[in-house]
């Protein structure tokens, strides 16, 4: 049985009438830029995360960029982040002329190892940017304790973690700012690019709100040089339709993860994802296993018609564009090992029991 790695058409089929109606409503009222659906989505995401403010922006990448700007990060500053994430996390720091300072990850969670942060702090450090990779929140109490002691701003890259739980809080409500992506493959996905910034701070919210519209307040009077980074009304309208289903979809992902965990528990081969004790709601944007013979397993799955993907094949310090930072290829050995072994399996809510069994059979056959 062929099993696609991801199939967004199933979600559209499920919600077609509601989504079509929402799109038509926006086309009819014509308020395409910062229309009423944007404010409504901001309100609902703020409530979901348990924060005072949420601000819709053009993408998850822009959410990070505006958050860094609001935190005052500028040329010559340093931002401490993980060596193992999607490119945006480090790219936005470099785009501001600041230096991304990488730390290695925990072997079990793939999230940045907070015990390595303090040794990387210098007088130029402005912020710490933990990533909640694959939908599991990083060890935030440890991060926040260090940040408070050194007066650093914490920006959560929660792009993969909307609704994820850390103890009794949600992703995006722990640091000074939280950044979300509604890229179509995220747990809550738009029909294009979209993102959101969350914060409890009135001051940081105001800064982000102004940066979103070219730094202007009022219109045509520019306090700072900002960006054109609004969340489209059309995207907000579609996301409003999907938001009420998010929790149920994330629970389905958790159930799929449990089935995989059980099926792979007896095997000596794949290392399955570890849920940390503080991680009260791991939303599995990805279900990532680790196998030394990753390329061979991936080829075997492909032969069986089963989709898989690699998040991420290259650690940041080994990327060509970051060679000027001066890291050695053998720095950050845990991230390097992960980049050579990780493989993500299909985990979308609409995955059927039969399809999941086909994935399990193919993995088991390879490992046996
Ligand atoms: C998806 C993602 C981003 C970027 O979001 P876009 O909406 O694609 O710009 C940033 N960080 C992480 C960890 C992501 O997974």
Q: What's residue 367's pLDDT? A: 83
pLDDT greater than 90 at residue 11: yes
8-104+111-244 and 245-367 share one CATH topology?
Answer: no
Nearest CA to ligand 1 atom 2: 159
Burial of 8 (0-12, 13-18, 19+ CB in 10 A): middle
Q: What is the mean pLDDT of the chain?
A: 97
- Span from the CA of 231 to the centroid of ligand 1 (angstroms): 15
Closest ligand 1 atom to residue 131 Cα is: 13
| pLDDT (tens digit per residue) in 115-161 | 999 999 999 999 999 999 999 999 999 999 999 999 999 999 999 99
Q: Which atom of ligand 1 is nearest to the CA of 195?
A: 7
Average pLDDT over every residue of 75-100? 98
**3 state SS of 8:** coil
306 beta partners: 3
Tell which one of 56, 60, 197, 231 to mutate to probe ligand 1, the residue whose CB is within 8 A of the most ligand atoms: 60
- Angle at CA 134, nearest 5°, toward 336 and 51? 130
User: pLDDT tens digits, residue range 241-284?
Assistant: 999 999 999 999 999 999 999 999 988 879 999 999 999 999 99
The partner residues of 54 in beta bridges, in order of sequence, read 198
How far does residue 61's CA lie from ligand 1's centre (Å)? 6
Residue whose token pair is 């099993």: 3
Ligand 1: residue of 81, 181, 344 to mutate (most ligand atoms within 8 A of CB) is 181
Quick one: CATH architecture of 245-367?
Answer: Alpha-Beta Complex (3.90)
- What pLDDT does 109 receive? 97
pLDDT at 43: 98
State the Rg of the chain over Cα.
20
Domain coordinates of the chain in residue numbers? 8-104+111-244, 245-367
User: Is ligand 1 within 6 A of the CB of residue 88?
Assistant: yes
Tokens of 255: 């159930």
Q: Is the CB of 131 under 6 A from ligand 1?
A: yes
Residue from 276, 213, 285 nearest 256 by CA: 285
Among 59, 86, 197, 342, the mutation site with the greatest number of ligand 1 atoms within 8 A of its Cβ is 86
pLDDT of residue 266: 84
- Phi (first) and psi of residue 198, to 5 degrees: -120, 145
158 Cα: distance to centroid of ligand 1 (angstroms):
8
Q: Tokens 């072997």 belong to which residue?
A: 107
Cis before 131 (ω within 30): no
Query: Residue 188 to residues 24, 183, 196: CA-CA distances in angstroms?
Result: 21, 8, 12
Fold assignment, 8-104+111-244 = 3.40.640
């Amino acid at each position: 049985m062929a099993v696609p790695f991801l199939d967004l058409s199933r979600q559209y089929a499920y919600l077609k009438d509601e989504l079509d109606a929402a799109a038509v409503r926006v086309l009819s009222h014509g308020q395409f830029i910062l229309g009423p659906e944007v404010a409504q989505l901001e309100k609902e995401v703020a409530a979901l995360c348990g924060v005072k403010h949420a601000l819709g922006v053009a993408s998850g990448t822009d959410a990070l960029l505006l958050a860094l700007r609001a935190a005052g990060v500028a040329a010559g500053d340093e931002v401490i982040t993980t060596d193992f994430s999607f490119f945006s996390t480090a790219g936005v720091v470099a785009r501001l002329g600041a230096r991304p300072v990488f730390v290695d990850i925990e072997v079990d969670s793939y999230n940045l190892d907070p015990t390595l942060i303090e040794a990387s702090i210098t007088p130029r450090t402005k912020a710490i940017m933990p990533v909640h990779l694959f939908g599991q929140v990083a060890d935030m109490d440890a991060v926040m304790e260090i940040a408070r002691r050194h007066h650093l701003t914490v920006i959560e890259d929660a792009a993969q973690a909307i609704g994820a739980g850390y103890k009794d809080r949600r992703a995006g409500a722990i640091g000074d700012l939280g950044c979300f992506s509604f890229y179509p493959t995220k747990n809550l996905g738009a029909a294009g690019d979209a993102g959101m910034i969350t914060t409890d701070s009135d001051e940081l919210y105001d800064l982000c709100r102004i940066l979103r519209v070219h730094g202007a307040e009022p219109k045509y009077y520019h306090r700072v040089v900002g960006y054109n980074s609004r969340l489209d009304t059309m995207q907000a309208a579609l996301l409003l339709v999907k938001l009420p289903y998010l929790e149920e979809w994330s629970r389905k992902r958790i159930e799929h993860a449990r089935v995989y965990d059980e099926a792979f528990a007896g095997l000596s081969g794949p290392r399955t994802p570890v849920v940390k004790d503080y991680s009260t709601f791991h939303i599995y944007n990805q279900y990532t296993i680790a196998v030394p013979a990753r390329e061979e397993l991936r080829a075997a799955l492909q032969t069986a018609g089963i989709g898989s993907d690699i998040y991420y094949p290259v650690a940041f310090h080994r990327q060509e564009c970051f060679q000027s930072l001066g890291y050695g290829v053998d720095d950050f050995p845990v991230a390097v090992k992960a980049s050579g072994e990780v493989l993500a399996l299909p985990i979308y809510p609409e995955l059927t029991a039969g399809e999941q069994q086909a994935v399990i059979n193919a993995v088991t056959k390879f490992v046996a």
